[in-house]
Chain A
């Protein structure tokens, strides 16, 4: 219902409240998720990390939350559902299908 939607929207998202990782060694990823390549961060300062492409691509399917700013003409919804996720062949090869049946 509309009321439920409003309540959900009012809650701060995990993204807004999550803290910044200060030490990658303190993080344990679930099975199947690889850590950033350690050689990129041999001398890293607190919170200053470099990440390889394979590590970063793992977030693609998980982090879909629309940012809380006006996206205007570049927003996906501005051009309709059929434009959703035109990529990619790069990860699993699966494409998100349109929710408008």
Chain B
């Protein structure tokens, strides 16, 4: 059967045109995987990640046994179907985490995509943010899947047709006293000296977008306090140094 392209174009129906019988969906820039863990998942779920000979993955394997891979999504419509059917962070059990990572990247610093990177994060006292955290996490996920975190990618002067985003994943953690939201990046300033200024600017741009557009604070606003931190970046390499790492704040 020959398809008349013009006629077909006229019958493209999005979920807004026809919620039951739409025939096109909005692809995400990258496919994503949602992972989850809590004390309840420990030792109960095996990861569905294919076992590989990769030694870094093997190193992460012990920890990965406690984390459950929930689902892969690659469209806006699927994201919301998932979002509308799972608990928000405020309703998660104690010591639980959601990890939304690009498909193929495991949410561990041992992964090739993460090992030279770092994370932007903020810690928020639980009592004051119980209601607020759900919105902040939603906005964090939307900036991730919409791929608006990395200012380099949103530069209208951009000439490269399909540049790689620096973001590998986002995490929300629920702890007895606080919530933490993190943005993981593929690279971190100070790891490779090459083009470090450019990279630092790009990383700081992600932090500023996170603090102002996603979390809704003013640039330069002081946030640290009891159980609260600034919006701060630290490389995974420096995180290992227990308190001696250099932090960037915005």
Contact = CB atoms under 8 A, between A and B. Distances in A.
Nearest to B157: A42
A15 B88 contact: no
Contacts of A79: 87, 91
A71 B81 contact: no
Interface residues of B, number: 64
A64 B17 contact: no
A43 interface: yes
Contact of B70 (A20, A71, A87): A71
B249 to A, nearest CB: 24
A69 interface: yes
Given A67-B82, A86-B134, A88-B134, A56 B76 contact: yes
Given A15-B25, A42-B158, A50-B153, A76 B146 contact: no
Nearest to A53: B142
A14 B21 contact: yes
Interface string B120-160: 00000000000000110011001101111000011010111
A62 B16 contact: yes
16 contacts: A14-B18, A15-B25, A20-B75, A30-B17, A40-B148, A47-B27, A50-B148, A58-B16, A60-B84, A67-B78, A67-B82, A74-B86, A75-B87, A79-B87, A83-B87, A87-B88
Interface of A: 14-15, 17-21, 26-27, 29-30, 33, 39-40, 42-43, 45, 47-53, 55-60, 62-67, 69, 71-76, 78-79, 83, 85-90
Given A59-B80, A83-B87, 4 more contacts: A21-B14, A52-B148, A63-B76, A67-B81
